Amino acid sequence: MTLESGLVKGAILAQRYQIEHLIGVGGMSRVYLASDLKLPGKRWAIKESSVSANRGDHLAEEAEVLISLQHHRLPHIVDFFHLSNTGFCYLVMDFIEGVHLDKYVMGKGGLSFEELIKIGVQICEGLQYLHDHQPPIIHRDLKPSNLLINSKLEITFIDFGIARTYKEASQEDTVKLGTVGFAAPEQYGGKQSDGRADLYSLGALLLYLGTDCQYTLWSDDADKRLRNKGFAHISPILCRLLRTSPEDRYNTAHQTAEALKLLLQTSQKPSDRSFAVTTYRRPFVIAVMGTGPGIGVTHLSIAIAHLLSRRAEKVAIIELDPKSTAFTALSEIFEAEKGIFRNNAKLSHLQNKGFQIKGVQYIRSPARNELLALFSDYYEFVICDLGSGRRKECLEEFQRADLSLLVCSGAEWRQEELVTFADQFKDVRAASKWICCVPFGRKEIVRQLRKTSGIKEVYSFPAEADPFSPSGFTEEVFMEVCGDALPQNIIQQRSGFGLGRKRWRRNN
């Protein structure tokens, strides 16, 4: 829309604000820099918007709400007036030094991982303040051009053009607006947008910045770009923020900020490869076996593989139960990339048994000689999904593994399975220390299983909705429970897990 503004340099508004020059133009407004005639030396940013007859009252109401806001991430709005003879209204706000966030990123050729996280945390601060307001204020147009960043890397919101208050009784938004690529699906009709719509936009914004202004929608290409930049740590958070259903995202901006802060607290920069494996030549083997069917062996194996793939270049997960059809189904559902071994002479004979999902290589039912090839120096981590069968070969791999995880049910009527397994395979257990995992097991169940089975290493694991993009909490629990068994260079570079591990174990 073209605005026929009459403002020129030197024009005076409300007998107080003298226009210096045009700062920027948006789809619905212009922003000018103005000096204050009553307060010499004071400068303001003045946003000019066109007003139709039915929008004047609405804009006045919104301005009244915005004027009440006081937060260091938000510009302080000090005045609002409507010139009926021109058809324009004006918001007077603090003039913020800085550049638009997208221009900043493109100008410096991308962000570091630490910069990306700190920007996300600062945006969460502003969003949480808006969402905690009574009634809550939903921004609805969070994007790089509506954010300024200064020389100290401090973020400030600068545009609330389509912000709205959340109305408890309303079924959907009155005005369906937003920037394509950054706006949440619910903003286009069907339901009222709440604070989680802004969290979707935050996810799109961080993905955009993290991929050097290339992607706002999650895809394998976006995921690959993050990995190539060493930003894989943030992928689970972005995936959750970008879920189609608001119920599947984080509930609050504060919760999102805490997840982002955890990335800085528990890891070094990804370029330093805090999880990198450099001190041993053969792969580190993790074997996962179940005490019975249907208790999540494959689910946990996949989650572990994708956790490790965030820090290691080459991770494989092997399906060793020949009766299992899980990997066959996965290759069809994901239409996974095949032919992954064509450039590796040692593994080229596995062409028809392998495929790839999000950087993890999946191999179905390899023969004995093929398995030995997989245990060569090509991989950094190999996860063996042994299922719940009792084949001799599977028990041997469970015994030989560097880390042996036994998955058992948390259902009271299935507790005997762990007792039976422990008793039946005492010899295996003597040669291999087990860690027993109880998916979403209650504390009292975990304590009871320790007592009845005689195995001290029994721990509850969180419910993980998406094993291909495990949450930060799942990662933390895995490290706390299994960290002692992992290569020492990993533990040394993630020393912050030491105390957390003790806390987790005491509570379980």
Binding site residues for ATP, as ranges?
Answer: 47
Dihedral of the alpha carbons of 482, 223, 266, 410, in degrees to the nearest 10: -40
Q: Which two tokens stand for residue 494?
A: 């993630």
For residue 93, give every residue at least 6 positions away whose Cβ sits within 8 Å of its Cβ, in sequence order, or none.
44, 45, 46, 47, 75, 76, 77, 78
Annotated binding site: 47
Three-state SS for 92-149 is: EEECCCCEEHHHHHHHHCCCCHHHHHHHHHHHHHHHHHHHHCCCCEECCCCCHHHEEE
3-state secondary structure of 13: strand
Q: In 10 A of CB 492, how many CB atoms?
A: 10
Helix (H) or strand (E) holding 298: helix 297-308
Q: Which of 164, 138, 177 minimizes the C-alpha distance to 62?
A: 164
3-state helix, strand and coil shares in percent for the chain, rounded to the nearest 5: 40, 20, 40
Q: Which two tokens stand for residue 161?
A: 């053009």
Angle 288-317-465 (CA atoms, 0-180°, nearest 5)? 75
Angle between the 113-132 and 195-210 helix axes, to the nearest 10 degrees?
170
Asked if residue 125 lies in contact with residue 73, where contact means CB atoms within 8 angstroms, the answer is: yes
